């Protein structure tokens, strides 16, 4: 039996990624990638068990980061999380896969519904949030990154009242960029380290 219980996830062919512009690291033109992916014949749902073993596809991951007065929300991943390859790492990202429950594969509204659902599942925050589509992250140098592509959403909050809804998110709190780029940098998962680098430059 699949360890993902038959979960279906949104994917795009690697060729579609290469047409827009393949890279390792970060790009700050995420709308170009979404425009290319979210149309008939490109984005589709696929069994996650198969997708995790198929580098010829990229699983689209909504990756939201939260900022408040110059600090960034971070947490450590416990062993209660589903992705064993990321246990004991620190992360900035809240989010995950887009699933059929969110709607039709090729629709932007489906993608945005998935972003909202993933955030609601993982954290609760108070006050207002200003959202911007921030970046695309790719890292083909490791097993996890080779089958995933992150779409980064930045939320600037007017309150630091945030709490975790899942036990897999430990030590949740806002941290200075100096700490994330310093003492914690070596403990960050790859995508979060890439985000820290981008935040320092922008």
Distance separating alpha carbons of residues 72 and 79, to the nearest angstrom? 23
Count CA within 13 A, CB hemisphere, residue 110. Answer: 23
Q: Residue 187's closest CA among 199, 202, 198, 175?
A: 175
Domain boundaries, the chain: 8-201
Q: Residue 175's closest CA among 162, 194, 191?
A: 162
Q: Which two tokens stand for residue 22?
A: 């393949």
**pLDDT tens digits, one per residue of 91-130:** 999 999 999 999 988 889 999 999 999 999 999 998 899 9
- Work out the percent of the chain whose per-residue pLDDT is above 90: 82
| pLDDT for residue 135 | 97
CATH of range 8-201; options 3.90.79.10, 3.40.190.290, 3.20.20.70, 1.10.3720.10 = 3.90.79.10
Is the pTM higher than 0.75?
yes
Distance separating alpha carbons of residues 28 and 163, to the nearest angstrom? 29
> Each residue's pLDDT tens digit in the chain (202 positions)?
568 899 999 999 999 999 999 999 999 999 999 999 999 999 999 999 999 999 999 999 999 999 999 999 999 987 554 545 545 789 999 999 999 999 988 889 999 999 999 999 999 998 899 999 999 999 999 888 999 999 999 999 999 999 999 988 999 999 999 999 999 999 999 999 999 999 998 7
């Amino acid at each position: 039996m699949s360890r993902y219980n038959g979960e279906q996830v949104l994917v795009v062919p690697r060729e579609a990624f290469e047409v827009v512009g393949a890279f390792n690291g970060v790009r700050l033109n995420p709308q170009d990638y979404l425009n290319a992916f979210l149309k008939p014949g490109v984005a589709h749902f696929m069994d996650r068990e198969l997708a995790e073993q198929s580098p010829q596809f990229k699983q689209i991951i909504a990756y939201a980061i939260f900022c408040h007065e110059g600090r960034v929300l971070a947490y450590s991943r416990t062993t209660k999380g589903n992705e064993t390859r990321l246990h004991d790492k620190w992360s900035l990202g809240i989010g995950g896969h887009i699933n059929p429950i969110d709607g039709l594969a090729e629709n932007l509204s489906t993608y945005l519904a998935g972003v909202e659902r993933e955030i609601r599942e993982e954290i609760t925050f108070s006050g207002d949030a200003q959202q911007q589509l921030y970046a695309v992250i790719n890292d083909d140098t490791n097993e996890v990154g080779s089958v995933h592509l992150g779409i980064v959403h930045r939320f600037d909050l007017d309150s630091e009242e945030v709490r975790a809804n899942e036990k897999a998110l430990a030590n949740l709190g806002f941290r200075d960029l100096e700490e994330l780029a310093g003492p914690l940098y070596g403990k960050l998962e790859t995508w979060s380290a890439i985000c820290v680098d981008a935040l320092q430059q922008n």
